[in-house]
Amino acid sequence: MNNLTKETQKTLIYILIAFTFSVLMRMIWLYQFQDMEAFKHAGQFMINTNDGYYWAEGARDILSGISQKNDLSPINSAVSQLTAFFAFILPFSFESVILFMPVFLSSLLVIPIVLIARVLNNLEMGFIAALLASITWSYYNRTMVGYYDTDMLNIVLPMFLLWSMIGAIQTNEKKYLIIAALDILIYRWWYPQSYSLEFSFFGLILVYTLIFERKNIYSYKLLAIMLFAMIGLDDLTRLGLVLVSFYIFTQKKYDKYVYYIFTSAIVLFFVSGGFSPIWAQLKGYIFSREAIVADEGLKLHFFAVIQTIREAGHIPFETFANRISGHSVTFVISILGYLFLAYRHRIMLLALPMVGLGFLASVGGLRFTIYAVPILALGIAFLITQIAQNMPTKKLKYLSMVAFTLMVLYPNYQHIESYKVPTVLNSNEVTGLSLLKEKAQREDYTIAWWDYGYPIRYYSDVKTLADGGKHAGDVNFPVSFMLTSPQEEAARLARLDVEYTEKNFESNRSYSNIEQMTKDYGFSDTNDFLFSLQTYIELPSKTRDIYFYLPYNMLNIYPTVRKFSNMNLMNGEKQKEPFYFISRNFREIKDKIQLGQNIFINKKDLSLEMNGKRVATRRFVKTSYNEDKKFYKDIKLLDFGAGLSIIYMSAYNTFLVLDEKSYNSLYIQLMVLEEYNKEFFEPVVANPFLKIYKLKI
Architecture of domain 427-563: 3-Layer(aba) Sandwich (3.40)
Express each pLDDT in 637-666 by its tens digit. 999 999 999 999 999 999 999 999 999 999
pLDDT of residue 290: 52
Express each pLDDT in 78-93 by its tens digit. 999 999 999 999 999 9
Whether the Cβ atoms of residue 169 and residue 349 lie closer than 8 Å to each other: no
Whether the Cβ atoms of residue 488 and residue 677 lie closer than 8 Å to each other: yes
Collapse the DSSP code of 616 into the 3-class scheme (helix H, G, I; strand E, B; otherwise coil) and give the result: coil
Average pLDDT, stretch 134-160? 97
How would residue 628 be classed by pLDDT, with cut points 50, 70 and 90? confident
**Distance of alpha carbon 291 from its chain centroid, rounded?**
21
Whole-number Å distance between alpha carbons of 90 and 84: 10
Query: Is 636 exposed, middle or buried, given 0-12, 13-18 or 19+ CB atoms closer than 10 A?
Result: exposed
Higher pLDDT, 24 or 307: 24
Whole-number Å distance between alpha carbons of 453 and 74: 14
Give the burial string for 147-178 (b: 16+ CB within 10 Å, else e): bbbbbbbbbbbbbbbbbbbbbbbeebeeebbb
Average pLDDT, stretch 483-498? 98
Cα dihedral 515, 517, 520, 522 sign: negative
pLDDT of residue 282: 56
Q: Judge whether residue 22 has pLDDT over 50.
A: yes
Amino acid identity at 344: R
DSSP state, 576?
A: P
Whether the Cβ atoms of residue 449 and residue 631 lie closer than 8 Å to each other: no
Express each pLDDT in 379-418 by its tens digit. 999 999 999 999 999 999 999 999 999 999 999 999 999 9
Whole-number Å distance between alpha carbons of 274 and 202: 13
Between the CA of residue 683 and those of 492, 671, 676, what are the distances in Å? 18, 10, 8
Report helix angle 328-344 to 317-325, nearest 10: 60
How would residue 298 be classed by pLDDT, with cut points 50, 70 and 90? confident
Every domain of the chain and the residues it spans? 6-292+306-418, 427-563, 580-695
DSSP state, 672?
A: I
pLDDT of residue 295: 47
* Cβ neighbours around 454 below 10 Å, total: 23
Euclidean distance between the first and the last CA atom of the chain, given in angstroms as a whole number: 71
Amino acid identity at 319: T
Within 8 A by CB and 6+ apart from 314, the residues are: 362, 363, 365
Element (H, E) at 215: none
Over its C-alpha atoms, the chain yields an Rg (Å, rounded) of 29
Collapse the DSSP code of 548 into the 3-class scheme (helix H, G, I; strand E, B; otherwise coil) and give the result: strand
pLDDT of residue 227: 95
**Distance of alpha carbon 636 from its chain centroid, rounded?**
43
Phi first, then psi: give them for residue 93, nearest 5 degrees. Answer: -70, 160
Q: Judge whether residue 688 has pLDDT over 60.
A: yes
Q: CA neighbours within 13 Å on the CB side: how many for 488?
A: 8
Whole-number Å distance between alpha carbons of 686 and 697: 20
Q: Judge whether residue 185 has pLDDT over 80.
A: yes
Phi first, then psi: give them for residue 45, nearest 5 degrees. Answer: -60, 140
* Bridge partner list, 45: 40
Q: Judge whether residue 322 has pLDDT over 50.
A: yes
Amino acid identity at 433: L
Between the CA of residue 160 and those of 58, 154, 176, 374, 676, what are the distances in Å? 27, 11, 11, 12, 56
> What percent of the chain shows pLDDT beyond 90?
84
